[in-house]
């Protein structure tokens, strides 16, 4: 496989795992804007254990999930008392504190970052992404998954129906943190270098947007969101200059165009976000849509009644 494609598959796989991590929190109605912090925890755990302790890759990857998940669990208990705006700010602040601690820690290389001696090729992240996606689909199809979605809609009624709202939220937040950390571990080994600047506020924002724009009602959402926003720029990079030069040729003009600047890609993401919030705030893929596709006959027949 060419370097180009293996690079894309690696990035896509890491983003999918990361998006599922944030999705599990969002599915219970908790916006987690601290994704970069949990990913950084996982990435640095894997990098440090690999470089300093010489752990094998399978152990460092496992440790990245355990470390981020454990810290996420400890963090979730106090922070999930908060709601709405407070929770968003709390998770955001958490990511900044993680970055602030890492940058001041000599053992973790400070602002210089840490090299990771062990390299993994595209196949490991790809397999991991498939497993994580299957796990999330399974989770959301169980009765626990149903309770998760119900808690998202109305936590007061869920409490009266006997759902332990707090337990559901803490469990899903911690599990999501573990997945985000796992994505960080994959990142560390795939790029063989971690530096804290990678895990900035923008990263937290992007991954939350992947999830919300993909749709948080079903497990299809984060998959669609992460895939769309990882692959779209690649698509644009190749097709846009071709289209543009084609247009120029049509008008008899000579000219080539440089691929679109990174900035345009983010403008596009911003425009899509704003339009989605106006016209389809529940995200690209909704439960009704999945239902209609999987049971086309049943729903049309009954609707006629």
Partner 1 sequence: MAEPLLSVENLSIAFGGLKVINDVSFDLEQGGRLALIGPNGAGKTTIFNLLSGVYRQDTGHIRLGGEVIDDVPSRKRIGYGMARSFQNIRLMPHLSVVENVMMGQHARPDRPGRLLAPLSIFGRSRARAEAEALLAEMGVEVAPGQDVSTLPYGIRKKIELVRALAARPRLLLLDEPAAGLNETETGELMAFLDRISDSGVTLLVVEHDMALVRSLCDRAVVLNFGQKIYDGSTADVQKDPLVLEAYLGPRHAGESAKEAENVA
Partner 2 sequence: MLLIQQIVNGLMLGSVYVTVAVAFTLTISILNFLNFTIPTLFMVAGMVGWGLAFFGLPFGLGGPLPWPLALAAGIAVAVACSLIVERFTFRYMKMKHGDSTEHAIPLVSSLGFLLILENLVRISYGSDAQRFPGPGADLTANIGGIFVRVPQLVSFVLVIGLILGLVWVINATRTGRGLRAIAENPDAAALLGVEPNRVVPIVFMLTGMLCGLAGALFAVNYGEVSPQMGEDIGSKAIAGMVVGGLGSLWGAVAGGVIVGLIEMLTIHFFGADTVQAAVWGALLITLLIRPQGLFGHNAIGKGKL
Summarize as ranges the residues that interact with partner 2 (CB under 8 A): 26, 29, 31, 78-79, 81-86, 88-90, 92-94, 96-97, 99-101, 103-104, 110-111, 151-156, 201, 205, 208-209, 212, 216, 261, 263-264, 266-267, 269-274, 277-278, 281
* CA angle, residues 133, 64, 19, in degrees to nearest 5: 35
Nearest Cα neighbor of 46 from 114, 134, 104 is 114
Nearest Cα neighbor of 211 from 39, 30, 29, 20 is 20
Which range binds partner 1 by CB under 8 A, 46-54, 68-76, 222-230, 287-295? Answer: 287-295
E strands, 98-221, where?
A: 114-115, 193-194
Distance CA(120)–CA(10), nearest Å, equals: 10
Q: Does 123 bind partner 1 (CB under 8 A)?
A: no
Q: Which does 284 bind (CB under 5 to 8 A by kind): partner 2, partner 1, none?
A: none
Q: Residue 114 in 3-state DSSP?
A: strand
Distance CA(137)–CA(117), nearest Å, equals: 34
Instruction: Identify which of residues 146 and 247 has a Cβ nearer to partner 1 in the complex.
Output: 146
Instruction: Identify which of residues 97 and 157 has a Cβ nearer to partner 1 in the complex.
Output: 157
Closest distance to partner 1 from the beta carbon of 140 (Å): 10
**Pair of tokens at residue 151:** 């808690």
Q: Which does 138 bind (CB under 5 to 8 A by kind): partner 2, partner 1, none?
A: partner 1
Q: Does 217 bind partner 1 (CB under 8 A)?
A: yes
Q: Which does 288 bind (CB under 5 to 8 A by kind): partner 2, partner 1, none?
A: partner 1
In this structure, what is the dihedral angle of CA atoms 149, 139, 32, 236, given to the nearest 10 degrees? -100
Q: Which does 232 bind (CB under 5 to 8 A by kind): partner 2, partner 1, none?
A: none
Q: Which does 18 bind (CB under 5 to 8 A by kind): partner 1, partner 2, none?
A: none
Q: Does 212 bind partner 1 (CB under 8 A)?
A: no
Contact between 30 and 88 (Cβ < 8 Å): no
Query: How far is CA 256 from each of CA 233, 241, 264, rounded to the nearest angstrom?
Result: 19, 7, 18
Instruction: Identify which of residues 152 and 189 has a Cβ nearer to partner 2 in the complex.
Output: 152
Encode burial over 38-75: b for 16+ CB neighbours within 10 A, e otherwise: bbbbbbbbbbbbbbeeebebeebbbbbbbbbbebbbeb
**Pair of tokens at residue 211:** 């999830």
Q: Which does 175 bind (CB under 5 to 8 A by kind): partner 1, partner 2, none?
A: none
Q: Does 280 bind partner 1 (CB under 8 A)?
A: no
Binding site for partner 1 (CB under 8 A): 138-139, 141-144, 146-147, 149-150, 152-154, 156-165, 217, 282, 286-288, 291, 295, 298-299, 302-303, 305
């Amino acid at each position: 496989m060419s370097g180009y494609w293996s690079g894309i598959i690696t990035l896509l796989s890491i983003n999918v795992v990361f998006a599922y991590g944030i999705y599990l929190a969002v599915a219970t109605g908790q916006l987690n804007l601290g994704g970069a912090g949990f990913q950084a925890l996982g990435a640095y755990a894997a990098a440090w254990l690999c470089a300093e302790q010489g752990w094998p890759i399978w152990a460092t990857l496992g440790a990245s999930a355990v470390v981020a998940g454990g810290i996420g669990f400890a963090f979730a208990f106090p922070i999930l008392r908060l709601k709405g705006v407070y929770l968003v700010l709390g998770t955001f602040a958490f990511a900044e504190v993680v970055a602030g601690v890492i940058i001041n820690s000599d053992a973790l290389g400070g602002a210089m970052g840490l090299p990771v001696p062990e390299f993994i090729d595209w196949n490991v992240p790809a397999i991991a992404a498939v497993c994580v996606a299957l796990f999330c689909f399974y989770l959301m199809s169980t009765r626990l998954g149903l309770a998760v979605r119900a808690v998202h809609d109305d936590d007061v009624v869920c409490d009266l129906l006997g759902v332990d709202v707090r337990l559901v939220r803490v469990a899903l937040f911690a599990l999501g943190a573990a997945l985000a950390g796992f994505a960080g571990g994959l990142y560390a080994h795939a790029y063989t270098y971690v530096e804290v600047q990678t895990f900035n506020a923008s990263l937290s924002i992007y991954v939350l947007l992947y999830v919300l724009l993909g749709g948080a009602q079903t497990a299809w959402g984060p998959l669609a969101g992460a895939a769309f926003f990882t692959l779209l720029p690649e698509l644009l990079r190749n097709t846009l200059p071709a289209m543009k030069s084609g247009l120029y040729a049509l008008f008899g003009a000579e000219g080539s165009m440089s691929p679109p600047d990174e900035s345009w890609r983010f403008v596009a993401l911003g425009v899509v976000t704003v339009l989605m919030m106006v016209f389809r705030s529940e995200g690209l893929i909704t439960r009704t849509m999945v239902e209609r596709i999987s049971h086309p006959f049943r729903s049309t027949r009954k609707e006629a009644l």
